[in-house]
Amino acid sequence: MNVIISGGGTGGHIYPAIAIANELKAMDPTTNILFVGAEGKMEMEKVPRAGYSIVGLPVVGIKRELTLDNLAFPLKLGRSLIKAQQIVRDFRPDVAVGVGGYASGPLLLAASLKGIPALIQEQNSYAGLTNKVLARWAERICVAYPGMEAFFPAEKIRMTGNPVRKDIQFADQQLDAGLTLFDLEGNRPTVLVIGGSQGARTLNESMEPALQRFVDAGVQVVWQTGPAFIERARAAVAAVNSPLVKAYDFIYDMDKAYAVASVVVSRAGALSVSELCLVGRPAILVPFPAASEDHQTKNAMSLVERNAALLVRDQAARSELITTTLNLLNDAAKRTQLSTQIRTLARPNAAREIAEEVIKLKK
């Protein structure tokens, strides 16, 4: 079977795509998989690192503000459609899978025009524009939240959850390895701060002046900053001069990072939420307010309403986030409640269920 998987732009699109590919290969090692992404985006580096081939399209998004870059959008979209049609002709996929992001549009449209069955994987509780447009051509739409009939035809929807990497599911077995990797002490509480693959300015600027508060409380910090903030973070870590605080631009071994975490502070992207459900860690979510249709707040509220996470609004984070985090670290009963509740929302078989839907479409 030949399968094309298209999309990307953020880790929230890329890692579910890789998880689906891994499951397809596990079910049938003879499956041929080709990724299609957007030139210059992070999938062009992350996908080959995972062992798969990827082809880039020149497609770009439309910026919300008026900019000269938007003038290039129609030209790049047209070039991307032509290149996508060539990719489909050459690779001859049996099924095309779109995970959202710029590259999904041209590729799934080109595949559908050739009569190739298409599957969409929508990670968020509020459907993205690309997926809403593509839904009319897709034969199957795999979702992670209830109520998605508001965006897609009900007969096409399958509730699967979001696929995550296999190693995340076994994070509880990685505590010793995590303590070694991050050079931490096993008898101290640890806060893991993750702002997505590119980092989160609000989280970073909340953490930067507050590191001494964690040190004074005897709390260890594992802080993923994203590449743009790492130098400022390293300067802040050097200023407190304590082995309790570690800053990284990117963490590849997320299973080990979750393993050491007593509390996780995170944005509320779909992938992060799905991973937190699987690892069952007490979480404080700070949704990114500029996400399309404020979907991160909707993602977060799906947990908060079930007493499965705490919420701090982005605009309040710089004044409230650190205190909320320290208070949660000091409240064992609340941490136990959050951990118990968030585990009930996990969908550990999401990647397999989506892979099975792909195979059904081929048949």
CATH of the domain at 209: 3.40.50.2000
Looking at the fold, whether 122 and 153 belong to one and the same domain comes out as yes
DSSP class per residue in 290-337: TSGGGHHHHHHHHHHTTTS-EE--GGGHHHHHHHHHHHHHT-HHHHHH
53 is in an annotated binding site: no
Residue indicated by tokens 């199957």? 140
165 is in an annotated binding site: yes
Q: Is the pLDDT of residue 64 over 70?
A: no
Q: Report pLDDT digits (tens) over 279-316.
A: 999 999 999 998 877 889 989 998 999 999 999 999 99
Tokens of 329: 């670290």
270 is in an annotated binding site: yes
Burial string for 188-219 (b: 16+ CB within 10 Å, else e) reads ebbbbbbbbbbbbebbbebbbebbeebbeeeb
Q: Is the pLDDT of residue 69 over 70?
A: no
Looking at the fold, whether 74 and 216 belong to one and the same domain comes out as no
Looking at the fold, whether 143 and 191 belong to one and the same domain comes out as no
210 is in an annotated binding site: no
- The span from the CA of 128 to the CA of 106, in Å, is 15
Domain count, the chain: 2
Q: Report pLDDT digits (tens) over 236-291.
A: 999 999 999 999 999 989 999 999 999 999 999 888 999 999 999 999 999 999 88
271 is in an annotated binding site: yes
Looking at the fold, whether 323 and 209 belong to one and the same domain comes out as yes
273 is in an annotated binding site: yes
Residue indicated by tokens 């596990």? 26
Q: In whole numbers, what is the pLDDT of the chain averaged over residues?
A: 92
| pTM of the predicted structure, to 2 decimals | 0.83
Looking at the fold, whether 98 and 176 belong to one and the same domain comes out as no
Neighbours of 228 (CB within 10 A): 12
Residue 36 parent element (H or E): strand 32-38
pLDDT at 167: 87
Q: Name residues whose C-beta falls within 8 Å of residue 292's C-beta, 6 or more positions apart in sequence.
A: 126, 128, 129
Looking at the fold, whether 157 and 243 belong to one and the same domain comes out as no
Looking at the fold, whether 21 and 94 belong to one and the same domain comes out as yes
- The span from the CA of 263 to the CA of 37, in Å, is 34
Looking at the fold, whether 258 and 356 belong to one and the same domain comes out as no
Instruction: Name the β-bridge partners of 143.
Output: 122, 159
Looking at the fold, whether 281 and 251 belong to one and the same domain comes out as yes
Looking at the fold, whether 84 and 209 belong to one and the same domain comes out as no
Neighbours of 147 (CB within 10 A): 11
Q: Report pLDDT digits (tens) over 308-340.
A: 999 999 999 999 999 999 999 999 999 999 999
What is the domain extent for residue 312? 167-343
Q: Are 71 and 96 in contact (CB under 8 A)?
A: no
251 is in an annotated binding site: yes
242 is in an annotated binding site: no
Looking at the fold, whether 177 and 291 belong to one and the same domain comes out as yes
pLDDT at 124: 86
Looking at the fold, whether 190 and 129 belong to one and the same domain comes out as no
pLDDT interval class at 351 (50, 70, 90): very high
Strand, helix or coil for residue 151:
coil
pLDDT at 70: 64
pLDDT at 40: 87
92 is in an annotated binding site: no
What proportion of the chain, given as a percentage, has pLDDT over 90? 77
197 is in an annotated binding site: yes
12 is in an annotated binding site: yes
Strand, helix or coil for residue 341:
helix
